[in-house]
Chains A and B, each alone.
Chain A
Amino acid sequence: MNFLAVIGRVAISFLQAAGKIGLFAVSGITHMLTPPYYPRELFRQMINIGYYSLPVVGLTTLFTGAALAVNIYEGSSRFNAESTLPTIVVIGIVRELGPTLCGLIVAGRVSASMAAELGTMRVTEQIDALVTLSTDPFKYLIAPRILATLIMMPLMLVVVADTIGVLGGYLLATSKLGFNSGNYMKSTIDFLETIDVMASLTKATVFGFFIALMGCYHGFNTRGGAQGVGISTTNAVVSACIMILLSNYVVTEMFFSS
């Protein structure tokens, strides 16, 4: 009986949290679409989320692209199918590894940063101060963060992640595995289809939304002091990563299941 009660409590609290996050998301989107707008704040967030994430995203995908090329070469050589390497690298990076790795890295960097910043603002009464200054915290704090992530994830970070990931495979293949540079590029371009790029950018947009939503939701609802900020930051990163992996499967199914 106690066991059932525990399951019931967990189910209810999960549904409550899902409902609250859903309402928070709707409110965030509504405030994003209606004035007043804060372009200065939006620009600041775009720089912070997009520009400052570039080095870590680039490095991660460069080495992943190179490692992927080594693995595919080693595996495909068992069937004398080494020539498929460029095709598999580009499809693997663009469809899957580029957006997913980029999402997970940005979740670690940006979700944590948003949760910590907003959480600290909450516990030091800065969010209350905004209200007393006739400023809607949703419009000033939440909307620019969501919009900036929605813009920077697909238009900058994932494009860079995909490009550098493919470049990593190319550099490794041409320098160590004996591939011809021109042939490698031709195979890459010939086998990359529009739907691959569409899927990559769609994933980037969806991941960006969850990264900002989880960072903002957990930060905005922080309770307590330093410990509360720590808990919010952890929850933001963990929930953003889970949502990225879950939505990755859903978007992949949407694009490629048939």
Chain B
Amino acid sequence: MTDMVPKISLKGLRKTFGPKVVLDSVDLEVMPGESMVIIGGSGSGKSVTLKCILGLLIADGGSIKIDGQEMIGISNSDRREILTKFGMLFQGAALFDSLPVWENVAFGLLAQRLYNRTDAKEIAIEKLRRVGLSPDVGSLSPAELSGGMQKRVGLARAIAANPDIIFFDEPTTGLDPIMSDVINELIVECVKDVGATAVTITHDMSSVRKIADNVAMIYHGNIIWTGPKNKIDHSGSDYIDQFINGKAEGPIKMEILKG
């Protein structure tokens, strides 16, 4: 038994869109320094869970605690304060195309008035170097970068303010297998470097095996299995077996509209 307060604690988290129940009752705990990967098929509620934690969507019920502090119902200023602990790598990188790369990386530092522009630029260049990009990339526009480079810049932005918790939304989607492995390696290294807790959502099993300490599987808005990465192949769950082996036959029924 440990008395350690979970970094993230979800209890009975519920979210609906009209009549559609996307999150039924999600229970999940992520301990400090842990790398939790949430897996699940398309439309299972992975992204909605992440958006509820970040406050981008308002949960209909349940509890979301960060470092023991309840997030549901807090004021916007308190939420912004807590958001300073977060870093986030978006699926499509979500770089601001009106700003050069270095300003994208330094955006959080400048927004929080932590550094002046000269110092923030130095930190941004250092973070770019950390993700394998040369300093001259800093002056380019995001539109001039390849998909893999955009992901790296997104990762540099996520770690720029040395956050306590980093979220990764489908970090390898749209990348070739080699670039996916490079990004996975960088994620592991960067998370270790800043000593952060990491929550990743993905359906890429190679990412899971590379990034995860623990894995949670979400299905129909509920967490149906949680355990360490090395037990995923012998979980005893037909759902997990079907998912990790990518079989069409099994208990998981994909919602496919037939013409």
A-side interface residues toward B, CB under 8 Å? 36, 44, 117, 121, 124-126, 128-136, 140
Apart from A124-B92, A129-B88, 17 more pairs, CB < 8 Å: A44-B98, A125-B91, A126-B96, A126-B97, A128-B51, A129-B94, A130-B96, A131-B83, A132-B54, A132-B83, A132-B86, A132-B167, A133-B83, A133-B157, A134-B81, A134-B112, A140-B111
| Closest chain A residue, CB of each to CB of B81 | A134
Which residues from chain B contact A140 at a C-beta distance below 8 Å?
111
Decide if B33 is an interface residue (CB 8 Å cutoff).
no
In the complex the two chains form, is B54's CB within 8 Å of A135's CB? no
A122 to B42, CA, bound (A): 21
Interface positions, chain B 39-85, Cβ under 8 Å from A, are 51, 54-56, 76, 80-81, 83-84
A123 to B90, CA, bound (A): 12
Separation in Å of the B48 CB from the closest CB of chain A? Answer: 13
In the complex the two chains form, is B90's CB within 8 Å of A134's CB? no
Which residues from chain A contact B51 at a C-beta distance below 8 Å?
128
Separation in Å of the B224 CB from the closest CB of chain A? Answer: 27
| 22 cross-chain CB contacts under 8 A | A44-B98, A121-B96, A125-B94, A128-B56, A128-B90, A129-B94, A131-B54, A131-B55, A131-B56, A132-B54, A132-B83, A132-B87, A133-B107, A133-B108, A133-B111, A133-B157, A134-B80, A134-B84, A134-B108, A134-B112, A136-B80, A140-B111
A133 to B108, CA, bound (A): 5
Chain A interface mostly helix, strand, loop or mixed?
helix
| Closest chain A residue, CB of each to CB of B154 | A129
Which residues from chain A contact B80 at a C-beta distance below 8 Å?
134, 136
A140 to B112, CA, bound (A): 13
The list of the 5 closest CB pairs from A to B, nearest first, reads: A129-B94, A125-B94, A132-B88, A133-B108, A135-B111
Which residues from chain B contact A131 at a C-beta distance below 8 Å?
54-56, 83
A77 to B41, CA, bound (A): 78
A44 to B86, CA, bound (A): 29
B-side interface residues toward A, CB under 8 Å? 51, 54-56, 76, 80-81, 83-84, 86-88, 90-92, 94-98, 107-108, 111-113, 157, 167
Contacts A133-B107, A134-B108 known; A128 to B55 CB distance under 8 Å? no
Which residues from chain A contact B94 at a C-beta distance below 8 Å?
124-126, 128-129
Which residues from chain B contact A132 at a C-beta distance below 8 Å?
54, 56, 83, 86-88, 167
Separation in Å of the B135 CB from the closest CB of chain A? Answer: 22
A148 to B248, CA, bound (A): 55
A146 to B221, CA, bound (A): 40
Separation in Å of the A125 CB from the closest CB of chain B? Answer: 4
Separation in Å of the A39 CB from the closest CB of chain B? Answer: 12
| Closest chain A residue, CB of each to CB of B117 | A40
In the complex the two chains form, is B55's CB within 8 Å of A125's CB? no
A131 to B54, CA, bound (A): 9
Separation in Å of the B51 CB from the closest CB of chain A? Answer: 8
| Closest chain A residue, CB of each to CB of B113 | A36
A126 to B86, CA, bound (A): 16
Which residues from chain B contact A121 at a C-beta distance below 8 Å?
96
Separation in Å of the B144 CB from the closest CB of chain A? Answer: 16
Separation in Å of the B91 CB from the closest CB of chain A? Answer: 7
A125 to B90, CA, bound (A): 8
Which residues from chain A contact B84 at a C-beta distance below 8 Å?
134
Separation in Å of the A221 CB from the closest CB of chain B? Answer: 15
Which residues from chain B contact A128 at a C-beta distance below 8 Å?
51, 54, 56, 90, 94
Which residues from chain B contact A44 at a C-beta distance below 8 Å?
98
A128 to B154, CA, bound (A): 13
Which residues from chain A contact B90 at a C-beta distance below 8 Å?
125, 128-129
In the complex the two chains form, is A134's CB within 8 Å of B83's CB? yes
**Max chain B Cβ within 10 angstroms of own Cβ: one of A44, A117, A125, A132:** A132
A41 to B86, CA, bound (A): 24
Which residues from chain A contact B81 at a C-beta distance below 8 Å?
134
A130 to B80, CA, bound (A): 11
